[in-house]
Amino acid sequence: VRVGFASWWLQMTEMDIDYTIQDLQFTETGLVVEGMTQDQIQTLFSQTFLDYFKNNEKYVSSQVASYVKGIANDIMKGKNLKQLLEWLNNVIHGNILPS
């Protein structure tokens, strides 16, 4: 994670995410997709998505990092360092949940 200042407040400028995924479990009830059997739906969500995540790690990581960076910057926008540290302390101690 890299941070910098934008208009007097701290903003995340770069974030790298790396992951390893070995298995993906999917449970559904009542999902009907025209032209697909329940086994095909199960395979789509369990195996096809797993293969996608494994084969596209760089792309998926960049998309997740971009999303997280946007949320983090929304939270940090307009807060000074003291306010950010107070907010982080509250999150760590369970006083507030990140929104």
The reported pLDDT for the residue numbered 78 is: 86
Burial class (CB in 10 A: 0-12, 13-18, 19+), 65: middle
Query: If you count them, how many residues does the chain have?
Result: 99
Kindly report the backbone phi and psi dihedral angles of residue 12, in degrees, each rounded to the nearest multiple of 5, phi listed first. Answer: -75, 125
Number of domains in the chain: 1
Q: Is residue 70 assigned to a domain?
A: yes
Q: Is residue 71 assigned to a domain?
A: yes
The reported pLDDT for the residue numbered 90 is: 86
The reported pLDDT for the residue numbered 58 is: 93
Q: Which domain holds residue 1?
A: 1-17+57-99
Digit-by-digit pLDDT tens for the chain (99 residues) are 777 877 777 888 888 888 888 988 888 788 899 999 988 988 888 898 999 999 999 999 999 999 999 998 898 888 888 988 898 888 888 887 655
5 contacts 11 by C-beta, under 8 angstroms? yes
Q: Is residue 65 assigned to a domain?
A: yes
pTM of structure:
0.67
Q: Is residue 44 assigned to a domain?
A: no
What 3-state DSSP class applies to 2? strand
Separation of alpha carbons 90 and 88, rounded Å: 5
